[in-house]
Amino acid sequence: MRDFYNRIPGLSLFSFILLVPASSWGQTTVSEDEMLDQLLFGDNLPSLDMEPEKPEAIDPMINEVQTVIGEYLVGLPRWEKDFGARMDLGWADNVLLSPFEKDASGFLKTSIDAFLHRPKDENGFQTYLYAFGEFTAYSDVKGMNDSSLFMIQDELGWMGANQNEIGLQLKYTYYDQVYDASFNEFDKASSKVQANQFEIRPFLRAPATENIDLGAEVALLGVIYRDPSEDNLETQTRFFLNKGYGFGSKLEVDLTGARREYDNRELRDRNGLPMGGTFKRWSLGGGVNWTHTLGTRKIWQIKANGDFKGIMDDGPGYYDYNLIRGDFSIARRGVKWKTSLGLGLSKYNYKTQLGDDGQNTLYRSSIETSLSLERAFGKNWTGFLEWRREQDSSNARGYEYNASTFSIGGDRSL
């Protein structure tokens, strides 16, 4: 099923890089929104910006029979369908991402996904519906027997004769997962988070030249947590430029601004003490995503991503920080085998919060490495081995941890 999505350039705001095993959920130093997308395929979420399909030859006899049956059968665009199922058996040495005592555990993860796509009709309308569900059971973790994730997304698009496209994306996500919540300004370094997230995202995309697209989108996101103190509403604005070249290679540059307002979380002074009022924050960031495919056979593929973000609260700056992050991966695909290597680096510099020495401002850095090996068995079956490790360092001991995950399994495209 992942090969099907290689035909779909991403339009999503998020950078969701490699398929993340459930046991390592949150073992990436990104916000929870970004981690949700990283769970899916290693690329951006599906988009309607698909290559036009060549019309199929129509048998005159079949067409004649359809006309007799009813005109509603003639000329309708067909629906493309793709379904997949996956199972992982693995081991994680620090499921709760603890900086002190590690809870290691074996796990069994199962996931299913479904994709329905209606190609563009004579009026320029097209749509897709995507659903993904995952459940992970752990054997030896106190207070946590399982984790789960469910997402459903629908996108509607209209393309004019000049190739300008307008559309609307709707998305719902439920998650009950462990991740490093402190990177989303929580008080704890890691936490099991249960939430419902709702998104609506209108977008506009227009060709600037033959191989360059310009676009803009706005978004409204609402998150309802099991802990109501973290409920928030966020608005986003994003501008982007995409350039395609070569044999499936592409370059994307984007700039994003966002404002988030919490319902109940208290604003804090420079010492971290509550000062009355609810917390609001602004962010401004941008990035460059580069995917380069070598040769017509597309055996080698290189991906490099870099981005920055600045976070500012509406008070004395207790939650303010700057982020710089980069990821690099290289993959080789043969007739049956595929091998991938990945490296990620990130650095957070806080402007007000202090490290353990009480003098220097808090910093956090992370190094992530990953290795995966896949083998195709026939047309629809794939087996895989995956290993991932994250090492987090800081001048505050409570934020330092390391976590590794190993898994073996298979998936089937139905």
Q: Extract the tokens encoding 231.
A: 């409920």
Question: What's the pLDDT at 6?
Answer: 41
Q: What is the mean pLDDT of residues 290-295?
A: 92
Q: With CA atoms as reference, report the closest residue to 174 among 147, 152, 196.
A: 196
Q: What is the mean pLDDT of residues 166-188?
A: 77
Q: How far apart (Å, rounded) are the C-alpha atoms in residues 56 and 75? A: 11
What is the separation of C-alpha 18 from the centre of its chain, rounded to a whole number of angstroms?
Answer: 9
Q: Extract the tokens encoding 187.
A: 């008080």
Question: H or E stretch including 203?
Answer: strand 191-207
Q: Given pLDDT bands bounded at 50, 70 and 90, which one contains residue 105?
A: very high
pLDDT of 275 higher than 80: yes
pLDDT per residue as tens digits for the range 11-34: 333 333 333 333 333 333 344 555
Other CB atoms within 10 A of residue 166 CB: 15
Token pair 């004395």 is found at 316
Q: Enter the DSSP assignment of 230.
A: G
Question: What's the pLDDT at 177?
Answer: 87
Q: Given pLDDT bands bounded at 50, 70 and 90, which one contains residue 54?
A: very low
| 3-state SS assignment for residue 22 | helix
Structural contact between residues 409 and 86, judged by C-beta atoms closer than 8 angstroms: yes
Query: Judging by beta carbons within 10 Å of its beta carbon (0-12, 13-18, 19+), is residue 337 exposed, middle or buried?
Result: exposed
| 3-state SS assignment for residue 189 | coil
pLDDT per residue as tens digits for the range 298-343: 899 999 999 999 999 998 999 999 999 999 999 999 999 999 999 9
Q: Extract the tokens encoding 173.
A: 């996500």
pLDDT per residue as tens digits for the range 137-172: 999 888 788 999 999 999 999 999 888 999 999 999
Q: How far apart (Å, rounded) are the C-alpha atoms in residues 154 and 45? A: 11
Give buried/exposed letters for 118-128 (b at 16+ CB in 10 A, else e).
bbbeeeebbbb
Q: What is the mean pLDDT of residues 345-350?
A: 97
Q: With CA atoms as reference, report the closest residue to 394 among 361, 351, 352.
A: 361
Higher model confidence: residue 236 or residue 160? 236
Quote the percentage of the chain above a pLDDT of 90.
Answer: 63
- The fold of the 2-413 domain, in CATH, is Porin (2.40.160)
Q: How far apart (Å, rounded) are the C-alpha atoms in residues 369 and 392? A: 12
Question: What's the pLDDT at 178?
Answer: 78
Q: Where are the domains of the chain?
A: 2-413
Quote the percentage of the chain above a pLDDT of 70.
Answer: 78
Structural contact between residues 218 and 201, judged by C-beta atoms closer than 8 angstroms: yes
Q: Extract the tokens encoding 259.
A: 């404002």
Structural contact between residues 362 and 394, judged by C-beta atoms closer than 8 angstroms: yes
Structural contact between residues 27 and 180, judged by C-beta atoms closer than 8 angstroms: yes
pLDDT of 80 higher than 80: yes
